Amino acid sequence: MLSSRMNDALNGQVNAELYSSYLYLSMSAYFEARKFRGLASWMRVQAGEELVHAMKMYDYVVSTGGRARFPAVDAPPFEWSSPLNVFENVYNHERKVTGLINALMDMAMAEKDSNTQAFLKWYVDEQVEEEESSGGALNKIRAAGTDTKAIQSFDKDMGQRKFKFPRGFVMFPYNQETTIGSMK
């Protein structure tokens, strides 16, 4: 059973993950507008992953008897000064999210809530990957500088990224096919 403080904090993180999804979708649209299809695709996958992060946490709140609540999601920025500036923002954003996850873990430890600690471990590991992949992308685009060919090659490489659901995660647990079929 979640404490009401932990319930609120997890709801706050669901909101933060939804904001992340919004942010990356906005970045995807930025790249679409500039015809960087690979980078647009990478950001779209990233937006999808953030939605999964939110849903996984929502599922945890609901499955532990908590109550999910949904305050407004902030509007993300619309423009960036350059593709490099986008990736600087991605990296800084992921570092900020790592701080939020660590604060949640601190709270779960202070409350001796071992169930939530075990649940959050997935996010701790995920943030290591998120910082690595966004930091790696930032280094590559920084190295490309103003070399158009190098930026095009970066765009192409980034477009190879495929979306994967985390192991064991089910996005639509409630008889999804029947529900969609019945809406036709």
- Site for ligand FEO, rule CB under 6 A: 17, 20, 50, 53, 94, 97, 130
Task: Please state, in angstroms and rounded to a whole number, the distance separating the CA atoms of residues 89 and 42.
Answer: 15
Q: Which H or E run contains 148? A: helix 148-158
Shortest distance, position 50 Cβ to ligand FEO, whole Å: 5
Cβ neighbour number for residue 44 with a 10 Å cutoff: 19
- 163 φ, ψ (degrees, to nearest 5): -80, 135
Shortest distance, position 17 Cβ to ligand FEO, whole Å: 5
Shortest distance, position 73 Cβ to ligand FEO, whole Å: 14
Task: Please state, in angstroms and rounded to a whole number, the distance separating the CA atoms of residues 138 and 136.
Answer: 5
**Is 17 or 113 the residue whose CB approaches ligand FEO more closely?**
17
Cβ neighbour number for residue 23 with a 10 Å cutoff: 22
Shortest distance, position 88 Cβ to ligand FEO, whole Å: 15
Query: Is there a contact between 40 and 56 (Cβ–Cβ < 8 Å)?
Result: no
**Is 113 or 130 the residue whose CB approaches ligand FEO more closely?**
130
Query: Is there a contact between 123 and 50 (Cβ–Cβ < 8 Å)?
Result: no
**Is 84 or 100 the residue whose CB approaches ligand FEO more closely?**
100
**Is 52 or 144 the residue whose CB approaches ligand FEO more closely?**
52
DSSP for 91-104, written as a single string:
HHHHHHHHHHHHHH
Q: Residue of minimal CB distance from ligand FEO?
A: 53
Shortest distance, position 95 Cβ to ligand FEO, whole Å: 10
Task: Please state, in angstroms and rounded to a whole number, the distance separating the CA atoms of residues 151 and 158.
Answer: 10
**Is 59 or 150 the residue whose CB approaches ligand FEO more closely?**
59
